[in-house]
Amino acid sequence: MVIFGASGDLTTRKLLPALYNLRRSKLLPEDFAILGVAVDQMSEDDFRNKVRHDIREYAGAPQDCTQCDWLAERVYYMTGDFRDNATYTHLKDLLAELDQKHSTKGNYLYYLATAPAFFGEIPSRLGANGLTSEADGHWRRVVIEKPFGSDLDSARALNRDLGKSLTEKQIYRIDHYLGKETVQNILVFRFSNGIFEPVWNRRYIDHVEVTVAEELGVERRGGYYDHAGALRDMIPNHILQLVTLTAMEPPISFQADAVRDEQSKILHAIQIMPPEEVLTRAVRGQYGPGTIDGKPEPGYREEPLVNPQSNTETFVALKLSIDNWRWADVPFYVRTGKRMAKRVTEIAIQFRRAPFVLFRDTPVERLMPNLLVLHIQPDEGISLRFGAKIPGPIVRVGSVNMDFEYVDYFGSQPSTGYERLLYDCMVGDATLFQRADMVEAGWSVVGPVQDVWRALPARSFPNYDSGSWGPKEADDLMKRDGRAWRKID
Ligand code: BG6
């Protein structure tokens, strides 16, 4: 495994700890080596020490020195400028040596944990140096992090560039949301249980809400974030993944393309907003100062590396429509934001109300509709709300919850969320990775919103307090349809 950007944050916090966890789970082969490449001057010993340090800090598991040593013995480092061809000739020689030493048979997984500016260049230079060719029966794969482009045109251009040195099967576009157990569980929940699928459609479901709320602000990423904003950062990737898994038809198998074909159909069925509807179906917000957990927090414009007059959005809410038979007229409301009241990711499926009420003392509008919530993080689980009789001589209906919490049944496993994804790239299972057409369809969905927002800069920023649930306009978005966001405690 060759990690480009080996001295960066992603390698430190996720990749090295995840590799260690894979080893602990006996999922790394004996014939394995890691080669870190970065522009920083570092000796191989320094890099090995860093590996030990990162594992200690971020693997989330008690240290097993034997496994840590095992990994450290297989770690190599080379300094190199990604734009300099000499880096790739040196890399080629080094890989040939490592093939001999570790019997890695010419199978290379390249992980681009770099700035997006290198996503096109590195594969092209690898290709030019014969490092992507699978001609001799070995495999060569490239993992690309997000952001994959910054709009439809740039994503298309990147796909085209990658296609010059790689086949689609060699490209693994990663979305770390698909590494989360509970996200993978959406498919198992839907397709391994007989009772939900018959009601999973417009006849029974009123609407769906997807919330990805973070307490954190932009931390040290102001430089990137101020150019990206919440729409690009979260919607075409993570949020649309959650939408597709919730909305897709049952695939004919769990083969990579069978699953991805169904996801792709949903992405193509999401109605592209006409520009004149963007202002009513898309809401943007930016956080001002506020308090979270009793602690005062600065506004976005006061964050490091952020332009003090910035008009970048840190909150987005959208009303999406999926134009197919299953979902016609069932809105999918999605929202995501930074510095919100609570860190929570969930998908709430609200069913239609009972059609008429048999209980004289309860008007039908007071009956709470059934609600199924898939809790993705931090408290992973599933809950179902239904009506039950409140004890007493008068028949009154109250709401109760049936709760399943992962941790009660399965305990908690130390995980960075990257283990499964890294494993899948190594065994060549692309199910949880984005195909070119999916990425492009995702950008097509957000394109009109990008265009309208660019043309009409926000005038009311900041428009929500840190520690709140976002701007008032997001509530209005649902209120106009006679609905309200689910209250999350
Ligand atoms: C990243 C975004 O892709 O996902 C970040 O760039 C965001 O801005 C993060 O904070 C959220 O991931 P998670 O796993 O913490 O929900």
Evaluate if residue 61 carries a pLDDT over 70: no
For residues 73 and 60, what is the distance between their CA atoms, to the nearest angstrom? 21
Ligand 1 atom with the shortest distance to the CA of 180:
14
State the total domains in the chain.
2
Q: Is the CB of 175 under 6 A from ligand 1?
A: no
- Ligand 1 centroid to 461 CA: how many Å? 22
184 found inside a domain: yes
Strands (DSSP E) found in 267-361: 282-285, 287-292, 295-297, 315-320, 332-337, 344-351
- Ligand 1 centroid to 405 CA: how many Å? 23
pLDDT digits (tens, 9 = 90+) for 299-318: 999 999 999 999 999 999 99
145, 164, 196 - which closes a domain = 145
Which active-site residues does the annotation give? 238
125 found inside a domain: yes
Q: Are residues 33 and 182 in the same domain?
A: no
pLDDT at 389: 84
160 found inside a domain: no
Nearest CA to ligand 1 atom 5: 233
pLDDT at 350: 97
Evaluate if residue 432 carries a pLDDT over 70: yes
Confidence of residue 365 (pLDDT cuts 50, 70, 90): low
Q: Are residues 342 and 417 in the same domain?
A: yes
For residues 371 and 205, what is the distance between their CA atoms, to the nearest angstrom? 9
For residues 311 and 358, what is the distance between their CA atoms, to the nearest angstrom? 52
Q: Are residues 184 and 126 in the same domain?
A: no
Average pLDDT over residues 261-286: 97
For residues 247 and 267, what is the distance between their CA atoms, to the nearest angstrom? 10
Nearest CA to ligand 1 atom 2: 233
CB atoms < 10 A from the CB of 380, how many? 21
Nearest CA to ligand 1 atom 10: 214
Q: Are residues 369 and 464 in the same domain?
A: yes
422 found inside a domain: yes
Range of the domain at 50: 2-145
Evaluate if residue 362 carries a pLDDT over 90: no
pLDDT at 364: 58
pLDDT at 363: 62
CB atoms < 10 A from the CB of 344, how many? 18
> What pTM value is reported for the model?
0.95
Ligand 1 atom with the shortest distance to the CA of 238:
3
How high is the mean pLDDT of the chain?
A: 94
Q: Are residues 273 and 404 in the same domain?
A: yes
- Residue 417 φ/ψ, nearest 5 degrees: 90, -10
Q: Is the CB of 313 under 6 A from ligand 1?
A: no
